[in-house]
Structure 1
Amino acid sequence: MSARLDSNYRAHAVNTLGDTEIDVLVIGGGVVGAGAALDAASRGLTATLVEARDFAAGTSSRSSKLIHGGLRYLEQLDFWLVREALKERGLLLQRLAPHLVRPVSFMLPLRHRVWERAYIGAGVALYDTIGGARALPMHRHLSRTRALELAPALRAEALTGAIRYFDAQVDDARHTMMIARTAAQHGATVLTRTKVTGLLREGERVVGAEVTDMETGRTHTVRARRVISATGVWTDEMNQLTGVEFPFRVRMSKGVHILVPRHRLNMDTGLIMRTEKSVLFVIPWYRHWIIGTTDTDWSLDKNHPAASNADVQYLLDQINQVLREPLTGDDIVGTYAGLRPLLSGASADTATLSREHAVAEPVPGLFVIAGGKYTTYRVMAADVVDAAVAGLGRAVAPSVTEHLPLLGAVGYHELVADLDGLAQRTGLPRATVERLLGRYGSVVTELFDLITREPDLGMPLAGAPEYLGAEVVYAATHEGAVHLDDVLTRRCRISIEADDRGLAAAPHVARLIGARLGWDAEKTEREIGRYRDRVAAELTANRAADDEAANAARLAAIA
């Protein structure tokens, strides 16, 4: 059986916080923090992860949802970063998370007949081979005729030809949560809604932290031989807790994405285009296309980065340059904004800041990891744990996560091979079973067990028929969901996929998970109301003219 992050798990974990000194306390439940907890636990260390909100609630649920090396980093001559990222892409596709990471096709339109094909073609050829990155098909050069056959939505005059290549994509929030569950399976304690409010010190050394349970308000003292901060864009707040200057700072870059229905763009491949500011992706995402991203400096509220009307219009303007039938605001069904934690530099342009990471020990006992990119999370996690255990006073095994499949990976291919049999035995449509396998891997059998016990859970959700009732129940009984927003926004992606941002589904989902989490009628209505307020705040921000107006509108709406 897999690790069950249910209400009993959480209650026991919170009640025993601080009972004994642990080896490693990890602060931050994004992809790097979850990766660090897994790395530490799989080396035999006692590890606890605490996260102030939810797994992946920040940057790690708001990415472009790509596992890639980054073509643009080749142009910046950052070969080491690209090589490292492509190695990680291959590991995730083939060994670590084949159930969560899958190939995705991209077409790069060419506008110049001679030099551009040679220049970009050489770069893509290097991208296909650097670091042994042969986990995906090689790129192909396309004539304009062949390119338009793949993407009839494009204007013929917008390209002279194209190059098609492959990368990989992931549901970032689900992937991060699965890393955390894998860490729990290896003995780590993983907790959401637990905020570090202070550091414990013995002289200059950090020896733990004060941790407040955000659900009850109780504060616990957690002693740890090493503390790891993997707090992303909140790194500077950790700096303030220490009272010393860090050797680096984090600068925030906002990336905005919009979702439009799949039928709105007649294409059999994703797109990648260079803009004057960054790179624009059009990424296939189930019944939708994700279009993004922006790359702009952000110095406002970290918890609720807002997509303004200017951001949305910028994305529409960029993609409409190549479309036969332009997209409009009426086509958009979802938006989201995330903040990239970039290592601060002298550049005034966030698009040119490095995506490499850094590890530091600003005060004895506290290790900080910052920078990097989603794809290289495992390397970042191993690096910070390596640094943390170097002076622990006993031998610690090297990192083993390169060889450690995530929960749901083992047995996944066998279930895929038996797809028709699974559909027949469960009574679910083949397409539904296939989709579930791509979200849960081999632990999908636990969902099937739920449906066997409660057949109604095999029915589509009201307001979000692409999802089953079993999925939202499983989020509460196995995946650590504590609030309605955890389910609608991260365990499922209803908040960005449903035309109404999940408002119609919210009551049904709240009743299903509330029954498992012990909510009474008042608590259920409060959760629904809070979610409605969140959606209203997002829509208000989307209509605001610029960042400051969007930030103010969102904060006012959720006050």
Structure 2
Amino acid sequence: MATREERPTTGGRLGPAERGSAWESLGSRTFDLVVIGGGVVGAGVALDAATRGLRVALVEARDLASGTSSRSSKLFHGGLRYLEQLEFGLVREALRERELMLTRLAPHLVKPVSFLYPLSHRLWERPYTAAGLLLYDTMGGARSVPGQRHLTRAGALRMVPALRRNALVGGIRYYDAQADDARHTAMLARTAAHYGAVVRTSTQVVDFLREADRVSGVRVRDVGNGAEVEVRAHAVVNATGVWTDEIQRLSGSRGRFRVRASKGVHIVVPRDRIVAESGLILRTEKSVLFVIPWRNHWIVGTTDTDWYLDLAHPAATRADIDYLLDHVNKVLVTPLTHEDIEGVYAGLRPLLAGENESTSKLSREHAVARVAPGLVAIAGGKYTTYRVMAADAVDAAAVDLPGRIQPSITDKVPLLGADGYHALVNQADHLATRYGLHPYRVRHLLDRYGSLVHEVLDSATPELLKPIAGAPDYLRVEAVYAASHEGALHLEDVLTRRTRISIEYPHRGVDCARTVAELIAGVHGWDETRIAREVAVYAARVEAERKAQEVADDESAAALRATAPEARSVTTRPNT
């Protein structure tokens, strides 16, 4: 095991200097665990291992949360619909995790959110739904949030005036929780770095190392400059989500399970297009549809269809968007149109493959397997249960680690920014005066950075405390901080994940791309040529996505999306 002196911490900073030292560490140290994949599960594994006292490295081919973990419904929820599928254990586990996030681990990032379930059938539907919600509440759903509340049709319409009167006979309101998934994942990775994990993005696994019949590490390539290095480890964890099977083939080991990719598409519309005080959950013929409050917007989703094409760039089609509009418009007084859409995003769920089952009915349970000596794979599950998945993966790897490992303690380890958050919320007016900002702006920053808000603002010049032109919900200093502290290496990292400008504005980030690139340039030392390239690559990505969203089928959409150049030169086997 590593001593404290062998595992210097960086305070969770993932900047250019830390990136350089991380590369040196990868090639010079022997780790207990190497984690492949910088999504929520991989970051969770890194934090779990680091807080058990293990020497751990996390490598990601693209960016933190660049795959599924930035493209979810952005909910921390128990999975109400899984009760109908009799997956009681999964729901109970997810509700426990939601409670931990709300109260102890990430109160600055995870917030309660209410949903109205419109009732459309008299007599049987209310008691049936109430029974399910009662089970939801008693399993732990009503601890830090209110329990279910029954409403007449008039009461439901007062809560959500946007609903057509003939679309419901009554309603039930219940609560879940939501978070910015990409921000949460990035903060999770930074917390792992704070506790000694070596975290490095744009670092692709290109081969596995072996000693006799066991995996003894990986060979990685810096996708920026092409340099390669061997990383020695007692065990490797494959936490690559929908890429699990590809990484498994690269390792030369036979997998114990298969992963099926299911595409989920969401659209984002302005808040004033749906007049409501609560989100909505609607039944569809296949699953459920959420209308989720998101700052000054609504997120409407999701679809659930098989995807067999480019795993790095799932493409939303016009058929996907029409499906969402058609279903939500069935209950709205004023229908949504394509012109109302501010943003669109598509993600892939890593589902454990079943036999002859539709993706909407595949289990969301996770699976962990020691597929070879020194190699563990983990897949499936839900974003909400990432912490449990991470602990299971480290436990599975324990057989290959020297000595006895400590039990998981991540249920007691707050993420960076959580400590002191509640006190700072009470002091928001004082902070606003100190930094010369409006109190609403300080509260917004607190819900993004928590108690790290001082780190964000203390070094900012008056110019950096101004809003980004074209994306005024964000300050200029946030773009700088994303590059200096949060591991953002490219313009798209800032516009799509460190902020959510790419889905929150109709221009999808193009109008402010030049401004943001110039802010990042000061951190990374970009010249004019590099700035122009970053802007051009991002603009081409947005244009390709827009074109893909005009065609009806996946194959055509994927082909159009593939025409855009890549910010990173990742080869055919990406990590997450």
Indicate the TM-score class for this superposition, using the shorter chain for normalisation.
over 0.9
Q: What is the distance in 2 between the residues matched to 1:255 and 1:401?
A: 29
Match of 1:457 among 457, 464, 469: 464
Residue 406 of structure 2: SS of its match in structure 1?
coil
1:537 and 2:537 equivalent? no
* Contact 1:275 1:318 (C-alpha < 8 Å) held by counterparts: yes
1:490 and 2:511 equivalent? no
1:263 and 2:272 equivalent? yes
Q: Which residue of 1 aligns with 2:325?
A: 316
Match of 1:435 among 444, 466, 490: 444
Q: What is the distance in 1 between the residues matched to 2:386 and 2:328?
A: 30
Q: Which residue of 1 aligns with 2:179?
A: 170
Greater shift, 233-242 or 98-107, is seen at 233-242
Q: Which residue of 2 aligns with 1:446?
A: 455
Q: How does 1:365-384 map to 2 (within 5 A)?
A: 365-384=374-393
1:500 and 2:507 equivalent? yes
Compared CA separation, residues 117 and 459, structure 1 to 2 (3 A): same
Q: What is the distance in 2 between the residues matched to 1:400 and 1:152?
A: 45
For residue 516 of structure 1, what is the amino acid of its counterpart?
A: V
1:345 and 2:345 equivalent? no
Residue deviations 1:3-59, cap 9 Å, x none?
221111101111332202111000000000000000000111000000000000000
Q: What is the distance in 2 between the residues matched to 1:2 and 1:443?
A: 11
Q: What is the distance in 1 between the residues matched to 2:71 and 2:432?
A: 32
Residue 456 of structure 1: SS of its match in structure 2?
coil
Q: How does 1:117-266 map to 2 (within 5 A)?
A: 117-131=126-140, 133-266=142-275
* Contact 1:40 1:385 (C-alpha < 8 Å) held by counterparts: yes
* Contact 1:207 1:223 (C-alpha < 8 Å) held by counterparts: yes
1:471 and 2:488 equivalent? no
* Contact 1:86 1:133 (C-alpha < 8 Å) held by counterparts: no
Q: What is the distance in 1 between the residues matched to 2:462 and 2:12?
A: 24
1:37 and 2:46 equivalent? yes
Q: What is the distance in 2 between the residues matched to 1:395 and 1:553?
A: 52
For residue 342 of structure 1, what is the amino acid of its counterpart?
A: L
Q: Which residue of 2 aligns with 1:102?
A: 111
Give the drift of 1:131. 4.4
Q: What is the distance in 2 between the residues matched to 1:73 and 1:132?
A: 14
For residue 507 of structure 1, what is the amino acid of its counterpart?
A: R
Give the drift of 1:133. 5.0
Q: How does 1:53-92 map to 2 (within 5 A)?
A: 53-92=62-101
For residue 75 of structure 1, what is the amino acid of its counterpart?
A: E
Ranges in structure 1 where 5+ consecutive residues have no aligned partner: none
Q: Which residue of 2 aligns with 1:358?
A: 367
* Contact 1:292 1:315 (C-alpha < 8 Å) held by counterparts: yes
Residue 248 of structure 1: SS of its match in structure 2?
coil
Residue deviations 1:245-296, cap 9 Å, x none?
2110000100000000001110010000010022100000001000000000
Match of 2:560 among 538, 553, 558: 553
Residue deviations 1:368-388, cap 9 Å, x none?
001000000000000000111
Q: What is the distance in 2 between the residues matched to 1:163 and 1:446?
A: 42
* Contact 1:24 1:46 (C-alpha < 8 Å) held by counterparts: yes
Give the drift of 1:244. 3.1
For residue 294 of structure 1, what is the amino acid of its counterpart?
A: T
* Contact 1:450 1:470 (C-alpha < 8 Å) held by counterparts: no
* Contact 2:215 2:372 (C-alpha < 8 Å) held by counterparts: yes
Q: What is the distance in 2 between the residues matched to 1:352 and 1:116?
A: 22
Q: Which residue of 1 aligns with 2:573?
A: none
Give the root-mean-square deviation of aligned CA atoms: 1.0
**Percent identity for Structure 1 against Structure 2:** 61
Residue 282 of structure 2: SS of its match in structure 1?
strand
Residue 22 of structure 1: SS of its match in structure 2?
strand
Q: What is the distance in 2 between the residues matched to 1:153 and 1:56?
A: 34
Q: Which residue of 2 aligns with 1:396?
A: 405
Greater shift, 332-341 or 134-143, is seen at 134-143
Q: Which residue of 2 aligns with 1:287?
A: 296
* Contact 1:495 1:502 (C-alpha < 8 Å) held by counterparts: yes
Q: What is the distance in 2 between the residues matched to 1:323 and 1:210?
A: 54
Q: What is the distance in 1 between the residues matched to 2:57 and 2:353?
A: 29
Residue 16 of structure 1: SS of its match in structure 2?
helix
Q: What is the distance in 1 between the residues matched to 2:227 and 2:565?
A: 25
What TM-score, normalized by structure 2, do the two folds share? 0.96
Match of 1:513 among 511, 520, 535: 520
Q: What is the distance in 2 between the residues matched to 1:85 and 1:487?
A: 30
Residue 301 of structure 1: SS of its match in structure 2?
coil
* Contact 1:242 1:363 (C-alpha < 8 Å) held by counterparts: no
Residue 519 of structure 2: SS of its match in structure 1?
helix
Aligned residues: 557
For residue 65 of structure 1, what is the amino acid of its counterpart?
A: K
Q: What is the distance in 1 between the residues matched to 2:141 and 2:260?
A: 32
Give the drift of 1:113. 1.4
Q: What is the distance in 1 between the residues matched to 2:546 and 2:118?
A: 33
Give the drift of 1:391. 4.1
Residue 393 of structure 1: SS of its match in structure 2?
coil
Residue deviations 1:495-519, cap 9 Å, x none?
0001100101100000001111110
What TM-score, normalized by structure 1, do the two folds share? 0.98
